[in-house]
Structure formats: C-alpha cells, structure tokens
Structure 1
Amino acid sequence: MWWQNGILFLYTAALGVLFIFSAGQAFLIYFYLKAKKKPAPQKPSLPLHLPKITVQLPLFNELYVTERLINAVCQLDYPKELLQIQVLDDSTDQSLAFTKKLVDDKKRLGFNICQLKREKNIGFKAGALQHGLQQATGEFIAIFDADFIPEADFLKQLLPYFRDKKIGMVQSRWGHLNNNYSLLTKVQGFGLDGHFSVEQGGRSARGLFMSFNGTAGLWRKACILDAGAWQHDTLTEDLDLSYRAQLKGWKFKYLEDVVSPAELPATLNALKSQQHRWTKGAIEVSKKTFENLWQADVSKHKKLFGFFHLLNSYAFVFVFLAAVLSIPVLLIKNAVGVPNWYFPLLGIFALAFVIMCAFYIVAFYQSHRSLKNFIVTFLAFVSVSMALSYHNSVAVLEGLFGFKSAFIRTPKFNILKSEKPVKNIYANYAFPLSFYVECALMLYFVFGIVAAYHFKDFALLPFHLFLVSGFGILNFYALKDRMKGKA
C-alpha cells in the first residue's frame, strides 16, 4: 500500500541524510589525525610591547559564581595597567549589589575594573557585549561566561598567535569542573570533548570555517568591528559573528592544549535550555548566512564544509524521524513483508554509527581515560543524544519557521565547592511539557522491544534499547530534579 511505501521511503531517507552528515564527520576525523601526525609548529612569541586587553564578563543574575569568576580574572598574569575588566551586569536581583561590592573591592586593589549596567536589557548577551565594546579600551577582547574559571596564563597563551595580522579570534578548549558530578554531566563532557578535539581541531587544521564558542576566546577588536560587531537577531550571537568575520577574510585559530575550565549544567532543565538555545540559534544563523556563504570568494571545498557545519542541527530531526518510524517499519516488515534487498541495503547506513564511534574514540585517546569509562560513557551518550532528538527537533522547527523565544540563561551552581550544591534560586525544577512527551516516547519504544521479541526479529532491538535507556535517563533526572526542588 502507498502509506507503507511512504513510511519505508521516509525511513530510508532519514538514514541516508544521517549517513551524509556522518561522512562529513569522517573527513573531520581525517583532517584532525593528519594534523596530529605533523610536527607541532613552533609557538610564536609574545610581542615585545604587550597591548591593552579588555576582559568582558557578561552576567545576568549569577549570585553563585560571580565571586569565583571575578577572582579568577583578577589573577590573570598580565600587567594591571594594560588590563581593563568590564563586568557587563544586566542582573535584576540581589546579585547586582553583591557584584558591585566585589568590583569596588578589586578597584581598591588597583584593578581597572568597572560594573556596566544597562537601563534596558535589549539583546541579552549580545547586547551587553556590544554595549561594553563601545567603551572598551583594549586592542583585544577576551570573553568569559559566568561559569568559567580562566587559568592565570590564558592571555599570554593566546596572544602570541595574533602576530599574524589576519588572525581575528583564538579559541581555547573547554574543560569541565564538575564532569564527575553525575551521569548527566559525564555525558555532556563526553560530547563536548568530541567537539573540542576532533571537530574544532579538524576545522582549524584544515582552515575551514569554525566557530567562536561564545566564551574562553580572545578577539581582535578590529575584527569584531569589521564584521559588523555584535548583533542580537539570533540566539547564537557567537556563531553569527564567527561567520560574518570569516566571510570578511579573517582567520580563526583553535588551541586544543589551552584549557579553560567551566561548570557543566547540573540539572536536566538547565541542559535542555542550553541545548534549545544552541540548536535553535544555529538554525537562525544558517538562514541568515547561507546566501553570503555561497556568494563568498572562498573555495567550494570551504563553502561545502561551512554549509554542513551550519546545517548540523538538522541531524536531530532526522534522528527523531528515524526513531519514530523504526517501529512501523518493524511492523510492516513482519506483517506485510518488504523486498529481500531492502534491509541488507540499509546495512550500509550502519557505517554512520561506525563513524560516530570513531569520532569519539579519537577524542577519547586525547583525554587518556580508561577504556571501561569510555564504553560506559559512550553508550550513555548515544542513548541520551537519541532521546534529546525530540527536544532539539522542536528547537530546529522553531528556528526554521521563525518562532521567537527569549534567551534563557543556564543556572550555575558553583559545584566546584561542593558535590551537593544548595537549592538554586534560579533553577527551574518544574516538569516541562517535554517531560510528558518523553515519558510517552519511552513507552512507545518499550513497545518496539516487545514487538521485536514477539516477531523474533531483533535487527532494530539495539536501536530501541538505546532509545528506552535514553528517555529513561532523561525521565529519571527530571524526577530527581523535581524532588530536589520540593526539598
């Protein structure tokens, strides 16, 4: 029947698209490993005359981590007279007065530090950065989000690479202060390690378009201004400015060996709000950027990888589509039957999973963790990533169809001080609508497991086990956070 053929076609198409995305990841693995085989280039030296640098700290209601951040920035190994620190504080609660006291204390110690408070919080983080940029005296701009603790040598590690006048931004790698706090944070750290090893490393080594990650990077002020400065028409102002700058001819550099520690989201709702912002924002940037990308005077090779980079978030839609359709496909196969060649042909798409394994194995070897730890964390990461495909698919569709939403900050807990943080006044512990949908989806894929045993057809069983496990993990942390909120 036509609807059965339609389901099989959509299922095959979804797997095919995911295979194409994975092929792009395979190239990044190759670029990264090829660069690793080459002798490390000699690090450029610091300029004889150190330039002025402005450090921007965008804050919004960060009661728990502001002191930690300001203390770390004031310990940067750089001459005080050449360092301007801007606390871009749009807070609306008691943290505003607390931050003012911290800033005043540092002023008395001789630091050039100021707290900038806007009358209206227009443009959220991008608006705050732009407001600060207009008053920045530094030739270079360093940016740290509230959850970061920069190392003392951060500026002296990144600054030498700006001897190349075409370098507009240098990005450091993110470290994880609370990686072992929970399975949820381990999974996040695992995924970010893959991004900050293979993806950022491969793009940088090949000279492809790459992104500033919103924090823990150093910009040439002239690059920001030349690219049109900070704009707030997308939720990912960092990716937006990155492409505008590189399309102007500026080069970016990524330093894998320079690590900037940060706190990972400790609750499920915090993780989801972050994922929603990153996913939806990437779609908004892709819509804004595609025309300029294709018209840019760069190689077709660079355009192609930029195209897939901007489209990465769409992969969530096809993961979710393949997941939902897998059970009807199982039923059609056993109730109606399909051509003998169909499922052997789909076996080709299993290469996508092999490539994903290779992607994270390569990143794993860079982190020198135990094999046992890798296997457990990898399986959990795959499960949670599949389960998050529903939530992130919604974000993709919102970005695609222009649905407007506010910039939702990610609450920080200062978990560095304690593995059992106090209840966070900023955290949202309520059940979102997605919780009920994800409960239903978990039961849906439990049915898929039951159907596999009923038909004695186990080809899709591993897929459904990943999905049940993933939705189970999400639901467990939703319930755990809810109980914490009521405590």
Structure 2
Amino acid sequence: MLEAIFSEELFLYGYLLVYLLVLGLVCFYGLHRYQLVHLYYKYRRNTPRIRACFLHRPRITVQLPMFNESAVARRLIDATCRIEYPRDLLQIQVLDDSTDETVNIVAQAVSYWREQGFDIQHRHRKDRRGYKAGALAEGLKTATGEFVMIFDADFIPPTDILSRTIDYFTDHRVGMVQARWEHLNRDQSLLTRTQAVLLDGHFVIEHAARNRSGRFMSFNGTAGMWRRACIDDAGGWQHDTLTEDLDLSYRAQIKGWKFVYLPDLTSPAELPPDMECFKQQQYRWAKGGAQTCRKLLPTILCSRLPKRIKLEAFFHLTSCTVYLYMVLLTLMLYPVVYLKVHVFAEGWLRYVFDFSVLLMATFSASMFYIASQRELFRSWADSLKYIPFLMALGLGISLNNARAVLAGFFGEPGEFVRTEKFGVGCSGSRWKDKAAALRRADRKIKLQPFFELAIGLYLLTCLFLCCGTLRVSIGVPFLCLFMVGYLYVSLTTWFGHRLGGLAEDLQGADLVSVPRIESAVMAAPIRPDHGPSVPVAPAPVIPPGSEFSKDQSVNQK
C-alpha cells in the first residue's frame, strides 16, 4: 500500500517537474523579450546615417518574383515602373513561375511598360526548381545591376524607395538595406489587426534592437536592397530551406557584411485576411526557421564571432522551438492546475509561483508589443485591446507551427507553399468570395483543425472543472487564453471567409484607406527621366566603387 502511494506521489512530482522544465524554457525566451526591449531603448538613437553620396547613380536591378499572383501582379509591375530613378540605370525583372492566367497578365504589363521605354524583362520558368530562391538565382544570371532590389507580389513600393536606400551603399561594407513593412489592410478585420501588431513588434523592436546594437538581423525576403557582390560572396541564393532570406542573411553577416535597417522607410503590403492562408504562411516561416537553425547554428556557435552575437543568434534561430513547448504546456495545463492546489496547499507559495510565470512569460510579451505600438502611433493606447487576442492567437497556432518546427528539424526541405494574395483594397476586390472558392477547390480533408478544435474543447472542459471545484488561481486566465486561441483558429480555418471578416462586416469597413494608398502610388506621374524624389542631405560626393574611410561610411554610433 505504501509502495503504491509512494509511486503515485513520485509520478505526480515527476509530472510537475517536467511541466516546470518546459515552463522554464518558455520563461527563458520570455526574458529574452525584455532584453530586446532594453536593447531597443538603449540604442534607439543610434540611427544609420549617410556620410557620402554617389557622384553617379549606380545601376539597379529590381526583381519581382511571383507565382500565380493574378490578383496583384499588374499592381506591382505598375508601381515598380513608377519608382523615381534614372530610367537608363534601372532594370526590372519579373520572375514569373506562374501556371495560370498570371502569365498573360504579366506579359501584357511588361509589353506596355517596355513600349514606354523601360528595360523590363518577363522571365517565365516552366518549372519551380528551387522555388523563390531558384527564381531569384536564375534572374541574377542576366541581372545588369550592381545592386538588387526585391519586392514580393503583394507589395506596393513607394516611388522614392531606391533614392532613399542607394546611398547607404557608399560604405563598401554594407551588403543589404531593409525597409519596414507597412500594411495595406491593417484595419480590415480582427485577424489582420492582430497580425499587424505581431509584425510591428518584429520590425519596430526586434530589427532595430539587433541592427543598432551590432547584432545579426535578417532580410525579410522583400522590400530590401542587396549589393550583388554580397549575394555572390555569401554563396548566392540556396533553396535547401524554406526561408532563403534568413539563410542568406546569416551567411552574409558571417562573412562580415553589414546590414542597415530603415524603420522610417516603409513599403505597404497585404496581410492574409483568411486564417488558412495565415496558417500556411506561419507554417512556412516556422519550418524554414527550424531548417536554417539546423543548417547554420552550429557554424555560428563554433565561429569566432563575439559572444553577444552568438547569444542573440541562438535566441533568434531557436525561437521557433517555443511552439513545441506551448503545445506541451497546453496538454499538461489542467493536471498541473490540479496538482498545484495539492502540492502548494498552504497557499502563498502557489501564488508566488503563478505570479513569477505571469511576469516572465505573459507580461514580457505584452510589454514587447505595447512598446512597438507606442513607437509607431500617437494613439497607441487603442492597440492595447488587441494584446490579449494577440496572445490567444499566438497560442492557437502553436499546433500548426509545432508541426512545422518538427518537419524543419527532422523532415525534408518540402515545397514552398505561397501565401494566397487576394488583392484586398483593389477596386471590386471580394476576398471572401475568393477564399470560399479556394476552399471549394481544395477538397483534401485536413485533420489539423479537428485536433485544434479538440484541444479547444479540452481546455473549455478544464476551465469548467477549475471553476466548478473552486480550484481557481492565477493560472485560470492562461486557460482562457489557450482555449480562445485554439477555438478561434480551428473555427476560422473552416469558416474563415465568413468569420475572418466578421469585424469588417460589423463595422461596415469598406477598406477606404487601402485604395487611397494604392491610388497615390498609381497616380504618380511618369517622368521621361526619373530622378531622386527627395532632397539629398549635404554630403561629399564620390564615384561608385570607391573605397571609403570609416568617417565617410554609414555611421552606426
């Protein structure tokens, strides 16, 4: 009898110990968010500055990779051809892997702009070998530019983006300049608002903290300009991961190239308004992050890089593993709530434990995203109401992303599944109709939403049990966040074209702001010879290809 009791207690304490270990890992990454916020505020004034300008503008190639982007292809090409830069120094490559009507749309657009005098190419591949990385590498074979700008299909590049980035390359050490993403449909629905806050945290806090403190940052796959020599020196575009941008970024910085991040230079793009598309995008990013971690982290840790760079690279490349820990916590949550009532029956120790977890894990995430909204908007307090749902959404996609992480660490490279673009904001665009049509066309039965729904119902049951037995603690709000996240993600995966736009329908949103942004770009006049659109600050002029002293280069104070 005593042996049975002892064995049961041993199991219970062992179970609790495993839970505490997993929770400790989550808190470990939560503490890292505090570190990023600290670095941001410490180095926020360490802004990059242009210390010299090109005497003669260098030649630039703009690459537009796309695959079956009929809703947005023409918009991107038109906006790119209205970029203000000397026409004889600008080459545009439409790297088209499409298998649908996009091919004809692109061909017509390219033909039109070629007649206007632009050096624009339509490079259509009949196979997707290497996916986006393969298309970019193929385009470089005929690229004539010393510098290469890249835009994904859903972006609308501002007319002055080349003029505002090119002079940072007068520092021969700079290999890449990244602009910040802005969002065409930020206010379309609850889902897009939440995504916008998530991405704002990445671009406003993470990127600035890493770049300005001298740590490694990543190119985001679009809205960035590369020095062609940097791409070649780092080994070129490689397609053994699904995040070719992250992969090349680290390989280039390991080689000693410097990156520049410009948070004040923005390029608007479309956020996925549909849950299934959002999950596909998250899956690709999580899997690609795990693949890049597996590929490059050992090299980084064994290199002679400074310890601060190694430590930040470790957190950056392994951050995707948090989704694995979150799934484990989800499944272990209620038994642990029950155990804590008995193990910490005296009371105060249980609340100290719960409050510590709240401070390290939950509050760190809240502070991270609140800081980004405060830096972006004067009326940042309005974004506070989205923080709880942001956390719930992050928990709700944990199963989706945990599968991706496991596939990234242990599986094959896999197919690059593009994120569906709906052309939201375009005249006559009806994204919900298109989302519904995509679901009708995809008749494959997907089991993941069933598991997400089952987990959500399990957590709902746990919540009732906790409240019904009066075993209520600070941990109960965690249960609510987990439950709301899983139920929302599962239900909107099935009914996303209805529920995903619920906020839009209730508020009568007409996406008024989106056509205004787009029309401003499209209405830009076509000049015979595009020149710089913004005045250049006084600086010494220098010919392209010159070597520069440290006091003439980009100043990272």
Q: What corresponds to 2:478 in structure 1?
A: 463
Does 1:5 find its partner at 2:13? yes
Shift of the 302–39 alpha-carbon distance from structure 1 to 2, 3 Å rule, reads closer
Q: What corresponds to 1:84 in structure 2?
A: 91
The correspondence for 2:39, drawn from 31, 44, 47, is 31
1: CA distance between counterparts of 2:14 and 2:120? 62
Deviation at 1:298, TM superposition (A): 1.3
Does 1:345 find its partner at 2:353? yes
- 1:420-458 CA distances to partner (integer Å, 9 max, x unpaired)? 436338844656322111111110110121011122122
State the secondary structure of the residue aligned to 2:53: coil
- 1:447-476 CA distances to partner (integer Å, 9 max, x unpaired)? 121011122122221011112221232234
Shift of the 18–39 alpha-carbon distance from structure 1 to 2, 3 Å rule, reads closer
Deviation at 1:43, TM superposition (A): 3.7
Deviation at 1:296, TM superposition (A): 2.1
Does 1:446 find its partner at 2:474? no
Q: What corresponds to 1:385 in structure 2?
A: 394
Equivalent residue letter for 1:421:
W
State the secondary structure of the residue aligned to 1:305: helix
The correspondence for 1:138, drawn from 139, 145, 149, is 145
2: CA distance between counterparts of 1:40 and 1:288? 32
CA RMSD of aligned residues (A): 2.1
State the secondary structure of the residue aligned to 1:28: helix
Deviation at 1:39, TM superposition (A): 6.9
State the secondary structure of the residue aligned to 2:144: coil
Q: What corresponds to 2:256 in structure 1?
A: 249
2: CA distance between counterparts of 1:364 and 1:45? 33
- 1:150-194 CA distances to partner (integer Å, 9 max, x unpaired)? 100011111111111111001110000011111111111110000
2: CA distance between counterparts of 1:25 and 1:371? 20
Q: What corresponds to 2:536 in structure 1?
A: none
Equivalent residue letter for 2:17:
F
TM-score by length of 2: 0.83
What number of residue pairs does the alignment pair up? 484
The correspondence for 2:420, drawn from 411, 423, 440, is 411
Shift of the 56–39 alpha-carbon distance from structure 1 to 2, 3 Å rule, reads closer
Q: What corresponds to 2:528 in structure 1?
A: none
Deviation at 1:332, TM superposition (A): 2.5
- 1:364-422 CA distances to partner (integer Å, 9 max, x unpaired)? 11121535532221111011001111111111111111244311111101112257436
Deviation at 1:331, TM superposition (A): 2.5
Deviation at 1:343, TM superposition (A): 5.6
Shift of the 195–96 alpha-carbon distance from structure 1 to 2, 3 Å rule, reads same
1: CA distance between counterparts of 2:74 and 2:176? 27
Shift of the 428–168 alpha-carbon distance from structure 1 to 2, 3 Å rule, reads farther
Could you list the runs of 5+ residues in structure 1 that have no partner in the other structure? none
1: CA distance between counterparts of 2:498 and 2:385? 26
Q: What corresponds to 2:367 in structure 1?
A: 358
- Report if the CA contact (8 A) 1:332-1:338 is conserved: no
Q: What corresponds to 1:477 in structure 2?
A: 492
- Report if the CA contact (8 A) 2:344-2:350 is conserved: no
Does 1:215 find its partner at 2:225? no
Equivalent residue letter for 2:493:
A
The correspondence for 1:424, drawn from 434, 444, 450, is 434
Does 1:99 find its partner at 2:114? no
Q: What corresponds to 1:320 in structure 2?
A: 327
Equivalent residue letter for 2:452:
E
The correspondence for 1:284, drawn from 268, 284, 291, is 291
- Report if the CA contact (8 A) 1:269-1:428 is conserved: no
State the secondary structure of the residue aligned to 1:261: strand
Does 1:183 find its partner at 2:190? yes
- Please say which of residues 17-26 and 442-451 is displaced more in the overlay: 17-26
- Report if the CA contact (8 A) 2:156-2:269 is conserved: yes
- Report if the CA contact (8 A) 2:48-2:260 is conserved: no
Q: What corresponds to 1:398 in structure 2?
A: 407
Q: What corresponds to 2:203 in structure 1?
A: 196
Equivalent residue letter for 2:90:
L
Deviation at 1:338, TM superposition (A): 6.5
- Report if the CA contact (8 A) 1:191-1:381 is conserved: yes
1: CA distance between counterparts of 2:42 and 2:451? 44
- 1:260-281 CA distances to partner (integer Å, 9 max, x unpaired)? 1000011111101100000000
Q: What corresponds to 1:60 in structure 2?
A: 67
2: CA distance between counterparts of 1:432 and 1:479? 10
State the secondary structure of the residue aligned to 1:424: helix
2: CA distance between counterparts of 1:39 and 1:344? 39
- 1:231-261 CA distances to partner (integer Å, 9 max, x unpaired)? 0000100000001100111111111100010
2: CA distance between counterparts of 1:343 and 1:39? 41
State the secondary structure of the residue aligned to 1:410: coil
1: CA distance between counterparts of 2:499 and 2:314? 42
State the secondary structure of the residue aligned to 2:152: coil
Equivalent residue letter for 1:310:
L
Shift of the 131–73 alpha-carbon distance from structure 1 to 2, 3 Å rule, reads same
- 1:15-63 CA distances to partner (integer Å, 9 max, x unpaired)? 1111111222211111111122x37564445311100000000010010
- 1:84-129 CA distances to partner (integer Å, 9 max, x unpaired)? 0000001011211221111011100000000111242101000000
- Report if the CA contact (8 A) 1:270-1:427 is conserved: no
2: CA distance between counterparts of 1:484 and 1:338? 43
- Report if the CA contact (8 A) 1:12-1:346 is conserved: no
- Please say which of residues 224-233 and 457-466 is displaced more in the overlay: 457-466
2: CA distance between counterparts of 1:122 and 1:81? 32
- Report if the CA contact (8 A) 2:68-2:99 is conserved: yes
Shift of the 208–92 alpha-carbon distance from structure 1 to 2, 3 Å rule, reads same
Q: What corresponds to 1:269 in structure 2?
A: 276
- Please say which of residues 467-476 and 169-178 is displaced more in the overlay: 467-476
2: CA distance between counterparts of 1:104 and 1:342? 70
1: CA distance between counterparts of 2:126 and 2:402? 35
State the secondary structure of the residue aligned to 1:481: helix
Deviation at 1:358, TM superposition (A): 1.5
Equivalent residue letter for 1:33:
Y
Q: What corresponds to 2:163 in structure 1?
A: 156
- Please say which of residues 449-458 and 55-64 is displaced more in the overlay: 449-458
Shift of the 363–227 alpha-carbon distance from structure 1 to 2, 3 Å rule, reads same
